[in-house]
Structure 1
Amino acid sequence: MVGGQSVGSASPSYRGHRYPAEVISHCVWLYHRFPLSFREVEELMLERGVIVSYETIRRWCAKFGQAYANGLRRRRPRTGDKWHLDEVFIKINGDLKYLWRAVDQDGNVLDILVQNRRDKAAAGRFFRRLMKKTRTVPRVVVTDKLRSYGAAHREVMPCVEHRQPKHLNNRAENSHQPTRQRERAMKGFRSVGGAQRFLSALSGISPHFRPGRHLIPASDYRAEMTVRFAIWEQITGVAGLPTAL
């Protein structure tokens, strides 16, 4: 559960924006939470009486998406000591690339990285990036049977237990599903940098609003979502402001 986390750093600055913070944060939430295009978000806002162009929404998502994701990550509980890693192919401007993802035993996304290959060097690069970003070393690493993981593991973190049994890595594999939904909705990604930036923000925002509805009673789900929306308002700087929608 996310509730009970302490307040993090200051919210992003909206200086120079003529639209209120609530409108901006709501558009960013819509785009990263649901498989919508910028034009569809524009239409939804128009229905609510807010006239804003899809290009403006695109700029808001590019500017604030990662900042919001970082704010949410700072509110999460301590990173788990069991990491699940997986990689899937994605097409970027027609070229085959690989999306590497790591989650802990609670399903929290630790990091994602778009790379050209899935060899030993790529696996090692992702291992080092994870340890640097989380500032910790896991107790256990769980992967599929790709040989690159074993080779990189022996070089980068030989003292960490490495498990590769079949079907044990479903947690990481399932974590790719929101990415696949967005990939289809966006008809693919146009650049490696654009894919990295968007997917990094998506992996921070989307899971925050997916507390596992099928695992808890409806009343507990609603209570948890109320807490999560309150956290969203705090990290986006909307909490306490008069409503604009």
Structure 2
Amino acid sequence: MAKKLRDLDELFKGRHVERELIILCVRWYCRYKLSYRDLAEMMVERGLHVAHTTIMRWVQRYVPEFEKRWARYARKSGRSWRVDETYVKVRGRWVYLYRAVDRDGNTVDFRLSPKRDVAAAKAFLRKALRTQGRAPTSITLDGYAASHRAVRELPGENPAWRNTKRRSSKYLNNLIEQDHRGVKSRIGPMLGFKNFDCAAITLAGVELLHRIRKNQFAIGRLRIKDQTPSAIWSAVLAA
């Protein structure tokens, strides 16, 4: 049974800053090309004097919680996946961000990996299967052999993959390569990450805001009258 989400008051208990401002800082950092220091300066105009390191800790603390709450309203993606990897620098070394979108450009899933090999590709596809609850009818890959091998071997591990067709097309994968830009453009101003786990959480926040921007959440049933971003976030997190 899924663990019950904590009440918002409990989630923000002990914080000496209004939760709306904490949510705003996390949301803006993950969405816009801002540094922690930029946000700290901007908050001064709202009467909040906070260290940039405090905002960093808020991102690490609350992104996983925000992911859980938004996940309740996530729409399933289509069943034709485009899978690709892009590069992210952590402590001066390149690591790999596995990502997939469907034929309409909706995000399927993502996973940060220290390696780019068969095991990493399988781990990403297993995660995507858990997220979507169903295997794709087709997966389009680039020419990297490890990813093709992963897709070939998965049906032997899980019958859910038995009807998935594997394709290789640079043209069809232009869609995922274009989608990388929406994420990478936000990562650029961060100037690299110092810690792999922190990078994974921060990227999860960036991906969450990227999906919200693409309208991948069915929040209509909440009947939110005020359609400002702050009101929508408050309604989703409190529901």
* Range into which the TM-score falls when normalised by the shorter chain: 0.7 to 0.9
Q: 1:96-175, aligned counterparts within 5 Å?
A: 96-156=94-154, 157-175=161-179
- TM-score, length basis structure 2: 0.81
Asked whether the equivalents of residues 89 and 98 of structure 1 are also in contact (C-alpha less than 8 Å), the reply is yes
Deviation at 1:55, TM superposition (A): 2.1
Question: What is the CA–CA distance in structure 2 between the aligned matches of 1:78 and 1:10, rounded to whole Å?
Answer: 25
Instruction: Mark the runs of 5 or more structure 2 residues left unpaired by the alignment.
Output: 155-160, 216-225
- Say if 1:166 and 1:209 are closer, same or farther in 2 by CA, change over 3 A: closer
Q: Which runs of 4+ in 1 moved over 6 A?
A: none
Question: What is the CA–CA distance in structure 2 between the aligned matches of 1:174 and 1:154, rounded to whole Å?
Answer: 26
1:181 is aligned to 2:185: yes
Q: 1:192 aligns with which of 183, 191, 196?
A: 196
Which residue of the partner structure matches residue 42 of structure 1?
A: 40
Instruction: Mark the runs of 5 or more structure 1 residues left unpaired by the alignment.
Output: 1-7, 212-224, 240-245
Question: What is the CA–CA distance in structure 1 between the aligned matches of 2:166 and 2:69, rounded to whole Å?
Answer: 31
Deviation at 1:141, TM superposition (A): 1.2
State the one-letter code of the partner of 1:159.
N
CA RMSD in angstroms, aligned pairs only: 2.5
Which residue of the partner structure matches residue 69 of structure 2?
A: 71
Aligned length: 219
Q: 2:89 aligns with which of 88, 91, 112?
A: 91
Which residue of the partner structure matches residue 212 of structure 2?
A: 208
Deviation at 1:227, TM superposition (A): 6.9
Where 1:226 maps in the other structure, the secondary structure is coil
Deviation at 1:108, TM superposition (A): 3.0
Q: Which has the higher contact order (CA 8 A, sep 6+)?
A: 1
Question: What is the CA–CA distance in structure 1 between the aligned matches of 2:230 and 2:24, rounded to whole Å?
Answer: 11
- Say if 1:162 and 1:235 are closer, same or farther in 2 by CA, change over 3 A: same
State the one-letter code of the partner of 2:237.
T
Question: What is the CA–CA distance in structure 2 between the aligned matches of 1:111 and 1:16, rounded to whole Å?
Answer: 33
State the one-letter code of the partner of 1:44.
M
